[in-house]
């Protein structure tokens, strides 16, 4: 089963995707992480995407759809985090899924807009694997250092207040309509993403009885 994690920047999609990935046989595919890797490797896509990302804008649909067609070529049990983000992307994704005879379910992260700024300005990211922390809500044992690989955490350049505001506007205008898109198809479940991280995980896991455990402890 393909899971689509849907919600605004800061809703907790990446946090939950990493937890689910450890406990269940579902692999995370994050378009944001993929694009940042393309930028770091200075690929043609990375060079084209960077001005949009720095401006808090969505990267054009054709670039994203092409990237995801490639990434999803052999995907079966994956969490897609950060895609689709527009109706055009959702339609292209539907066509791809139909061709592969796969089905997808959207997990909608319900959250109040007013918590997002604090979540994003306090976010610290491991640039090597996309794992995230928060100075208050989920602090690493040593400030600025990842608990697991011991390497440095960074603050993403687009996690500054001015760019966050632009990203939230892009979300409302272009991505929020997808909640109704998947709802109409009867393919959306909602979780309360205002709750504590572990509570949100429990809610996601309860809503998705089809997840196959890997045997790793919670």
Catalytically active residues, by annotation: 13, 85, 123, 156, 167
Does 84 contact ligand ADP by CB under 6 A?
no
Token pair 């490797």: residue:
41
Cα–Cα distance, 218 to 210 (Å, whole number): 17
Kindly tell me which residue out of 5, 24, 83, 182 binds ligand AMP, with binding defined by CB under 6 A. Answer: 83
3-state secondary structure 67-133: HHHHHCCCCCCEEEECCCCCHHHHHHHHHHHHHHCCCEEEEEEECCHHHHHHHHHCEEECCCCCCEE
Q: How far is C-alpha 87 from the geometric centre of its chain's CA atoms? A: 17
> Of ligand ADP, ligand AMP, none, which one does residue 200 interact with (CB within 5 to 8 Å by kind)?
ligand ADP
**Residue with smaller CB distance to ligand AMP, 45 or 191:** 45
Write the interaction track for ligand AMP spanning residues 40-79; mark x where CB under 6 A is met and - where it is not: ------------xx--xxxx----x---------------
> Of ligand ADP, ligand AMP, none, which one does residue 26 interact with (CB within 5 to 8 Å by kind)?
none
C-alpha closest to that of 27 among 64, 74, 69, 70 = 74
Does 119 contact ligand ADP by CB under 6 A?
yes
**Residue with smaller CB distance to ligand AMP, 129 or 214:** 129
**Residue with smaller CB distance to ligand ADP, 54 or 62:** 54
Number of residues written out for the chain? 218
Strand partners, 107: 5, 189
Q: How many residues bind ligand AMP (CB under 6 A)?
A: 17
């Amino acid at each position: 089963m393909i899971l689509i994690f849907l919600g605004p920047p800061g809703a907790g999609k990446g946090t939950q995707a990493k937890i689910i990935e450890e406990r269940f046989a579902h692999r995370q595919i994050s378009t944001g992480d993929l694009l940042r890797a393309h930028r770091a490797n200075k690929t043609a896509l990375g060079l084209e995407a960077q001005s949009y990302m720095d401006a808090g804008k969505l990267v054009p649909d054709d670039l994203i759809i092409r990237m995801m067609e490639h990434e999803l070529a052999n995907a079966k049990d994956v969490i897609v985090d950060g895609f689709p983000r527009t109706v055009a992307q959702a339609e292209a994704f539907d066509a791809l899924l139909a061709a592969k005879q796969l089905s997808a379910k959207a997990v909608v992260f319900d959250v109040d807009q007013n918590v997002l700024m604090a979540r994003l300005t306090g976010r610290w990211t491991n640039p090597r694997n996309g794992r995230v922390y928060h100075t208050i809500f989920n602090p690493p044992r040593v400030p600025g250092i990842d608990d697991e690989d011991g390497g440095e955490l960074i603050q993403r350049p687009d996690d500054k207040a001015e760019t966050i505001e632009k990203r939230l506007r892009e979300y409302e205008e272009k991505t929020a309509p997808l909640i109704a898109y998947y709802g109409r198809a009867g393919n959306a479940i909602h979780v309360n993403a205002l709750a504590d991280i572990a509570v949100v995980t429990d809610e996601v896991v309860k809503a998705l009885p089809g997840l196959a455990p890997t045997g790793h402890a919670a």
